[in-house]
Structure 1
């Protein structure tokens, strides 16, 4: 794999000194590497040449579109090698918010609200050829949350279990009346911040981007930064968010919090479990 990356980099960045790629992580369909602390390279895992080409073409097109839409920095392609299944983009500055909580999370409300509003306003005809429609109804979310709760109930304090069980016993909210272009995984792990100033420096990992319920993006602000920051973000959202939308935001936040705790417990990624447990009371209050 590293030989493939070097060949692709030499082809598209001739004359540049190339260091050894460092594996950052692995998704279901790609591997991600960092090179010289400056470039991120995603390599398709598909053995089918047509699938590799399509995956790179689509992701490069998506990132180019997002760069035009976004009010915050996003990864921009350096090159797309469709034949090799390699996409390279410049590494953004900053560290993931889930690894470096900021002292004043309320300061993130305005930029996140504006970012979400601009993204959700994108004309669907500009994005529907680049991302799928993600139609997953609230009852399915609730069923997943029940499964995740069974896996982690023993890790929750008694009061937390009572709150979660009360939530799981409720009827899920109705489906949304409209959909929009969404990042669709706008959690703290995909928000970069400057450790010194606490300012947002970028939004990464657009692999789950989809046309779906726009409240899903807002729900992760609720989950990771709290209901107060969520309310303040809505002041800058620029789109209507009614009582039904707020109900779904709290619903998705609670389901996804259980998912994060279960992921952390089951995989050993303790940061996800610890952050989820720390945010349990405020997410399930009310």
Structure 2
């Protein structure tokens, strides 16, 4: 596959000298490669030219909206589902020890970022991001099916927390939808190791017009309730008790999904993080 990446680079950047191509990892939909420690090349498992063009246009729009850096496209190859970006500085937040991070350095920029992104007029983003409306009862049913497959891996004292959640009724559906990152897990927030400041927000593949609570849910799941509250304090839109209920609900469904993924076809670190964060996600 690295040979294919080299061929794409030669086609789109003929004067660019390629010294190294390293595969960084993969997700459900994409493989990611690092080139010369300065470019990131994301290639879809299944090429979708229209989706590729949409993502390029979406990133251009997001760069105008976001107060935090987002990837800059260097080239796109629609037929192979490939997009090359300039590498942003910093490392993913999930690779940092939480005790070494100052929550205030994260919460204020995250609150400002989400205010800007969620503040986009949805109608202006409809051509750039799909509508993502997945009913809460369906999410809860999916979460239970996932959990039954992996519940033996959950420490026995914590199983009642999950069982109680699965018995509870799902929250009411949101009253309004906004443009969202829609996958704002800690692995997609880059941070400078020396200063603890956010240096970028990456991976906009799943961006959608959806419930803003989805973005806060992954902050809650990955970074805890205290950082969630601090982030919400810097968020310019009102957040109701119903919104908070959906944040908790989505976080719990997402944690179960990550646990099942990490224990089956995905990288093990997804499962390890899910188990580490299960107590705060299901008790607060």
TM-score using structure 2 length: 0.91
Query: 1:61 aligned to 2:39?
Result: no
In structure 2, what is the Cα distance between the partners aligned to 1:8 and 1:252?
38
Q: 1:79 aligns with which of 75, 78, 82?
A: 75
With over 3 angstroms needed to count, the CA separation of the structure-2 counterparts of 1:31 and 1:147, relative to structure 1, is same
Deviation (angstroms), 1:206: 0.7
Query: 1:18 aligned to 2:14?
Result: no
In structure 2, what is the Cα distance between the partners aligned to 1:258 and 1:84?
32
- Show the counterpart of 1:239: 237
Query: Is the Cα–Cα contact under 8 Å of residues 2 and 22 in structure 2 kept in the other structure?
Result: no
- Show the counterpart of 2:40: 40
**Residue range with higher mean Cα deviation, 121-130 or 179-188:** 121-130
Deviation (angstroms), 1:43: 3.3
Gaps (5+ residues) in structure 2? none
Query: Is the Cα–Cα contact under 8 Å of residues 186 and 220 in structure 1 kept in the other structure?
Result: yes
Query: Is the Cα–Cα contact under 8 Å of residues 44 and 55 in structure 1 kept in the other structure?
Result: no
In structure 2, what is the Cα distance between the partners aligned to 1:46 and 1:284?
35
Query: 1:104 aligned to 2:118?
Result: no
With over 3 angstroms needed to count, the CA separation of the structure-2 counterparts of 1:272 and 1:4, relative to structure 1, is closer
With over 3 angstroms needed to count, the CA separation of the structure-2 counterparts of 1:8 and 1:158, relative to structure 1, is closer
**Residue range with higher mean Cα deviation, 122-131 or 11-20:** 11-20
Query: Is the Cα–Cα contact under 8 Å of residues 183 and 210 in structure 1 kept in the other structure?
Result: yes
In structure 1, what is the Cα distance between the partners aligned to 2:168 and 2:79?
50
Deviation (angstroms), 1:45: 4.8
Query: Is the Cα–Cα contact under 8 Å of residues 27 and 266 in structure 2 kept in the other structure?
Result: no
In structure 1, what is the Cα distance between the partners aligned to 2:64 and 2:8?
26
- Show the counterpart of 2:84: 88
With over 3 angstroms needed to count, the CA separation of the structure-2 counterparts of 1:29 and 1:186, relative to structure 1, is closer
With over 3 angstroms needed to count, the CA separation of the structure-2 counterparts of 1:159 and 1:118, relative to structure 1, is same
**Correspondence list, 1:186-201, <5 A:** 186-201=184-199
In structure 2, what is the Cα distance between the partners aligned to 1:268 and 1:11?
32
With over 3 angstroms needed to count, the CA separation of the structure-2 counterparts of 1:28 and 1:259, relative to structure 1, is closer
In structure 2, what is the Cα distance between the partners aligned to 1:271 and 1:32?
17
In structure 1, what is the Cα distance between the partners aligned to 2:127 and 2:186?
28
With over 3 angstroms needed to count, the CA separation of the structure-2 counterparts of 1:87 and 1:71, relative to structure 1, is same
Aligned residues: 282
**Residue range with higher mean Cα deviation, 225-234 or 7-16:** 7-16
In structure 2, what is the Cα distance between the partners aligned to 1:33 and 1:277?
28
Gaps (5+ residues) in structure 1? none
What CA deviation, in whole Å up to 9, does each residue of 1:108-142 have, x standing for no partner?
Answer: 11111111111111112221111111110111111
Alignment root-mean-square deviation, CA: 2.0
- Show the counterpart of 2:127: 129
In structure 2, what is the Cα distance between the partners aligned to 1:77 and 1:260?
29
**Correspondence list, 1:104-253, <5 A:** 104=101, 106-107=103-104, 108-253=106-251
With over 3 angstroms needed to count, the CA separation of the structure-2 counterparts of 1:28 and 1:237, relative to structure 1, is same
Deviation (angstroms), 1:30: 4.3
In structure 2, what is the Cα distance between the partners aligned to 1:149 and 1:110?
34
Deviation (angstroms), 1:179: 0.3
Deviation (angstroms), 1:5: 3.6
